[in-house]
Amino acid sequence: MKHLLYIFIGGGLGSVLRFLISNHTQKLWNISSFPMATFLVNMVGCLLIGIFSGYFLKYDSELKFLLIAGFCGGFTTFSTFSAENISLWQSGSYGILLVYVLLSVFVGLLAVYVGLNMVKN
C-alpha cells in the first residue's frame, strides 16, 4: 500500500511540473510548427528516468516508486517507453525493439486519428 502512495504522490508532482514546464516553454518559445514543450518534457523525462534507474540499480530503495513509476510516469510516459526500449536493446532483443517502436508510433498515431474522428460531427 505504501508503494501506491509513493506512486500517487510522485505522479501528481510529475503531472504538475509537466504542466508548468509546458506553459512556460510555450511562452518562451512560440514556435507554432514544432511542439517544443512536449519535446522538452519528454527529453528531460528520459534523462531523469535514466538517472533514477541507474541510481536504484546500485542503491535499491522504495523511493524508486516515488521517482520512477510516480514522478517520471506522471511527468511523461515517453520516458518509460524509452527506458523499455533501452532494456530491449541491452538484452539483444532487436526484433522486438523494432516492432515495439514501429507499432507504438504508428498505432499510436492511428489511435489518435481514430479517436478524433469518432467524436467529429
pLDDT along the chain (121 residues), means of 10: 96 96 83 75 90 92 95 89 91 93 90 83 61
Binding residues: 73, 76
The pLDDT score that the predictor gives to residue 80 is 82
100, three cell numbers: 515495439
Binding residues for Na(+): 73, 76
* Segment (H or E) for 21: helix 2-28
**Alpha-carbon span 87 to 67, nearest angstrom:** 19
**Domain membership of residue 12 as a residue range:** 2-76
Looking at the structure of the chain, the number of domains it has is 1
Q: Is residue 38 part of a domain?
A: yes
Contacts of 73 (CB under 8 A, 6+ apart): 7, 10, 11, 14, 80
The pLDDT score that the predictor gives to residue 33 is 63
**Alpha-carbon span 35 to 23, nearest angstrom:** 12
pTM, two decimals, is 0.76
Q: Is residue 28 part of a domain?
A: yes
